[in-house]
Structure 1
Amino acid sequence: MGLRILIVLAVLMGVTGINSVTVRPETASTDGSAHPNSVPEMAEETGKKEVAEVAEEDVMATGDLNPNHYPAQRAAKVVQHYLNTRYGSPYRLFGLQRVNSGNAEDVAESGRKYQLEISVEEIIGKTTQKCSAEVLFPRGERRHSAQVQAPCDELLKINTAAQEEDLYQQYKMNQILLSAQYLPDSHGHVEHDMRPLWHLGIVASSFIMLNESTEDTLFNMAQVANITQLATENDQIKFDSHVLLHELVSQEILHWKLQFTWSPAEGVKVLKMDQLPHCHDCEKPPNTN
């Protein structure tokens, strides 16, 4: 039993040290590869909180869950990604503040369903709401994305229409197409005029994290390695982006290419998302517990 406890704790401790990501400098290049990156500011922007010390717990437990343990945290993080994909914008970004309570149950052949009471923050406007959420991780040979219900209506009342329209017109009228790298930089800093691009990268990344999330994963967005505005003939602003995601269970840095569009009327729509080959030179983030 003692050995089992040590093994479980060794695996779970990865969730406590999630405030920084370090990637070796030699991987930086003009093709948008990784850059040294420490992201304390990223932790604030995504509303991510360190998980409390974790005791031994069956990750497939049913019934009431410890809000600070992996099962509840993983399911709640999926709700954050869901809200960003549905409602995120350059001026509206959602983060998980805390899990207040939760329970899990097996649902016949459908999968495992989590009922959660969580506190969600709209980070830019600094507004917090307690929400009820339901997350179903489907079962079956063919993997499907988690199904989420999270009616956090109060957070959606924040009106950012004027800001978004101003930014949209600015981007549409650009004589030189926008381009940026390393958001945030190695000091966790993002220039003020680059923040909307960074936020768009976070929202677009949530589509990947929502699609890839299972009961065995816990994703966080680490960095927009590069983002470039593309020429377009319709009303949608189009971007190419290379993002770095931190998978906290394996402590891997995952590289993804994204192409997506944005407009105030249609929101963020992802056109393509492709995972790049594993980065063997990338250092795993150190634990900071």
Structure 2
Amino acid sequence: MATGELNPNHYPAQRAAKAVQHYLNTLYGSPYRVIFLNRVHSGYAEDVADSGRKYKLEITVQDHISNKTENCTAEVLFPGGEQQRPPQVQASLEELPTTDTKAEEEALFQKYKTNQGVLSEHLPDSHGHVDPDMEPFLHLGSAASSFIMLNESTENTLYNVAQVANVTQLKTENDQLKFDYYVLLHDMISQEIIHWKLLFTWSPQEGVKVLQMEKLPHSHHDETPQNNN
């Protein structure tokens, strides 16, 4: 792996920057906020004795829903050793790149807290359509998938969401909405489509709390990835 100044457009800098994207989504992702990498401005890599490789980055991130952007300074440490461990990320944003979503989040929460068990949808449906009422759950699944992608990220991967395929609402527990998602992730390096089951809770106050991430067996009929994340 290269050290020193990095080409912002090459894989080493892009991989580290993607880890920052996933990290920010684990903190701030919601049905009305999904953060994507917009651009890598600069990157620097150095070996850290007995720890791994550290990347220092200047990037721009973008809220997919509002399209607002914000500059971000970050450090990403990919741990060394034979055992795979998630990268350690520190990131500094001046403010979230989005408009205030509290009212929309609270309205969605109250609606589905009252109508438990009514949600079980394919996203998109068999005609490739996503109902506008289901778009917040498409966004929520995309943001929550960052927990998987951050956990699985290494210096040899580059993950995107290929498809949020299915969402089922489960019985509410501890005043949190609970969901079972089926998602397909695309590793840009290996071109592999990886199927995952994701169980998590969400509320406007607590955000996304992952309960279980399960990697599923390979399918012989993998869907074509849509690299929109």
Q: 5+ residue gaps in structure 1?
A: 1-59
Q: Name the counterpart of 2:141.
A: 201
| Amino-acid identity (%) | 65
> Deviation of residue 157 (structure 1)?
7.1
Q: CA deviation at 1:153?
A: 3.0
Preserved CA contact (<8 Å) 1:227 1:242: yes
Task: Tell me the residue number matched to 1:13.
Answer: none
Higher percent of residues as helix: 1
Question: Which amino acid letter does the alignment assign opposite residue 117 of structure 1?
Answer: E
User: Per-residue CA shift, 1:43-76, capped at 9, x if unaligned?
Assistant: xxxxxxxxxxxxxxxxx11000001100001110
Equivalence for 1:62: 3
Between the aligned partners of 1:249 and 1:282, the Cα distance in structure 2 is 16
Pick the aligned partner of 1:236 from 176, 187, 192. Answer: 176
Counterpart of 1:278 (choices 196, 218, 229) is: 218
Residue pairs, 1:82-101, within 5 angstroms: 82-101=23-42
Q: Residues 68 and 157 from structure 1, CA distance in 2 versus in 1: closer, same or farther, beyond 3 angstroms?
A: closer
Determine which structure has greater relative contact order: mean sequence separation of CA pairs < 8 Å that are 6+ residues apart, divided by chain length.
1
What's 2:115 paired with? Answer: 174
What SS does structure 1 have at the residue aligned with 2:81? Answer: coil
CA contact (8 A) 2:5 2:43 kept: yes
Q: Letter of the aligned partner of 1:67 in structure 2?
A: P
Partner of 2:164: 224
Matched letter for residue 102 of structure 2: A
Equivalent in the alignment of 1:114: 55
Task: Provide the rounded CA distance (Å) in 2 between the counterparts of 1:183 and 1:157.
Answer: 25
* Aligned alpha-carbon RMSD (Å): 1.9
TM-score norm. by structure 2 comes to 0.93
Query: Using the alignment, how far apart are the partners of 1:190 and 1:161 within structure 2?
Result: 23
Instruction: Name the CA shift for 1:108/1:90 in 2 (closer, same or farther; >3 Å).
Output: same
In structure 1, what residue type is equivalent to 2:80? R
Match of 1:144 among 85, 94, 97: 85
Amino acid at match of 2:38: Q
Q: Number of residue pairs matched? A: 227
Contact 2:43/2:58 (<8 A) preserved? yes
Q: 1:151 to 1:212 in 2, by over 3 A?
A: same
Gapped runs of 5+ residues in structure 2? none
Comparing both structures, which one devotes a greater share of its residues to strand? 2
Q: 1:226-261, CA deviations, whole angstroms, 9 ceiling, x for partnerless residues?
A: 110001242000001110001111111100011100
